[in-house]
Structure 1
Amino acid sequence: MNRGGVTFQTAPMTPAVKWLLIINVAVWFVIQVIVEGFLKIPFTSIFGLYPGKVLFDFNIWQIFTYMFLHSMQVTHILFNMLMLWFFGAELEQRWGTRFFLIYYFVSGVGAAILYCLGVWGWALATGSQTGLIVPVIGASGAIFGLLLAQGILFGERIVYFFMLFPMKTRYFVALMGLVQLASMMTSSVSGGEVAYLAHLGGLVSGYICLKSKSWIDRNNQNRRTKSKGRNLRLVVDNEKSSKDKPPKYWN
């Protein structure tokens, strides 16, 4: 399937991806389009990510809830949900639902935390308060975490950039990271209409999550191996002529 000039292989719909799609679309259409758009109830100002409110007013829930809000432009939620399906379904099949959800939310929340810290640092360095008061919404931080996982786990897979240029997935992911970095550097830390720092935060958070999982799995495997080694017994059949005697063991 093609989107934005890149051909992707897609997996069947998986449980967590399906429910994330349903929740995101329902929140966007019911709460944002209908309730907020027509009834003028300011849900975005409460649940969107405002770095200043998170850092100074301790509205901590915003680092989680912002992932379920999107702009009024249909293309914003459409693109994010397509990417969630394209990248997420195969990862959920490989990891299982539990770790997939852990990874998804670690990437999204981590992106929000790094974004808040980056905007705060930018405000201290430049005196500009804009990034602290402009809201960030969307699942893009978590989506970029999924993109990173695709590049690590399926890095040798070939995708066709703009349907013309074959490229390994790992190089495509690296290219996307560089594009986000260059875009941020040519605008500002908070970006224009796109929070490039949040995208980079999703990549970084996803990488930390995968490295942590690898370290935990390796330690667990080492513990299991040592435990099995301690319980191994060598049976020495040195009583062949005495069938009534039990074998002897070496612990």
Structure 2
Amino acid sequence: MNRSVSFQTAPLTKAVKWLIIINVAVWFLLQVLMEGFMHVPFTSIFALYPGKVLFDFQIWQLVSYMFLHSMSVTHILFNMLMLWFFGAELEQRWGTRFFLIYYFSCGVGAAILYCLCVWGYALATGSQTGLIVPVIGASGAVFGLLLAQGIIFGERIVYFFMLFPMKTKYFVGLMGLVQLASMMTSGVSGGEVAYLAHLGGIVSGFICLQFKAWFTRQDFKKKAKNKGRNLRLVVDNEKKSDKPPKYWN
């Protein structure tokens, strides 16, 4: 995915920097060293197993899976680059607090939707494969960041495959269709790539942004109403004047 787009990246912001540090530290220290060389079953405990979440209530996996990656360097490298490219500018715009709320909402929301859809697929088809195949990686949260880029900076021009210019909102829509088509051709569990989790990140990001917009409107209405209560009309009927009445705050 990183070969398809060219963004002007923002400086490495506080939350993005620490997310990258934590992800790389978990991957290298716990997965590569402890699991790869010392054979500690770290991934089997903290990866997302839909069956374990739904039936054994190992709900920490809804969060912990976001910090695990495969032993392939390209997996964590591309995810961390995308986290930086898409996330730093959003953190600058939103602030660290809401950026983290949004990031984890996308990641956890992607995991929840993935578990529910895999469970529904298992009930409909009788296939239990999706329930026992682990999911790891920050891609669900990263696709949520990609959606926010398309909504907020939708008119910005990016270069698809470094050659074809298109608006960011169209690029995001195209990437969503690619994930949907890939899932349809590879199955719900997605083979080696959990396309359903990517789509879950997009859906979760959209829902989170809708809640943000709703709370912003409610806050604006509340402030406008309170301001209106503090205004009083002062009219002096004894003095004739062509000037409009004055409001005092």
TM-score by length of 2: 0.94
CA contact (8 A) 1:236 1:249 kept: no
Q: How far has the Cα of 1:137 moved from its partner?
A: 0.2
The equivalent residue for 1:100 is 99
Give the length in aligned residue pairs: 243
**Aligned residue identity for 1:52:** G
Q: 1-side partners of 2:25 and 2:89: how far apart? A: 23
Q: How far has the Cα of 1:230 moved from its partner?
A: 1.1
Counting aligned pairs with the same residue, the percent is 81
Q: 2-side partners of 1:249 and 1:109: how far apart? A: 49
Q: 1-side partners of 2:4 and 2:207: how far apart? A: 29
Q: How far has the Cα of 1:236 moved from its partner?
A: 3.6
Structure 1 runs of 4+ aligned residues shifted over 3 Å read 235-240, 248-251
**Aligned residue identity for 1:17:** V
Q: 2-side partners of 1:81 and 1:102: how far apart? A: 18
Q: 2-side partners of 1:174 and 1:50: how far apart? A: 29
Aligned alpha-carbon RMSD (Å): 1.7
Q: 2-side partners of 1:86 and 1:148: how far apart? A: 13
Matched, 1:13 2:16: no
Specify whether residues 250 and 71 from structure 1 end up closer, same or farther in structure 2 by C-alpha distance, changes over 3 A only. Answer: closer
Q: How far has the Cα of 1:235 moved from its partner?
A: 3.2
The equivalent residue for 1:123 is 122
1:222-248 superposed Cα distances (whole Å, 9 cap, x missing partner)? 0110111111123345688xxxxxxx9
In structure 2, list runs of 5 or more residues that go unmatched: 240-245
Matched, 1:151 2:150: yes
The equivalent residue for 1:207 is 206
1:186-222 superposed Cα distances (whole Å, 9 cap, x missing partner)? 0111101000000000000000000000001101110
Q: 1-side partners of 2:247 and 2:169: how far apart? A: 52
Q: 2-side partners of 1:172 and 1:249: how far apart? A: 50
Q: 2-side partners of 1:216 and 1:99: how far apart? A: 13
Question: What SS does the aligned partner of 1:166 have?
Answer: strand
Question: What SS does the aligned partner of 2:37 have?
Answer: helix
Q: 1-side partners of 2:45 and 2:234: how far apart? A: 68
Q: 2-side partners of 1:104 and 1:239: how far apart? A: 62
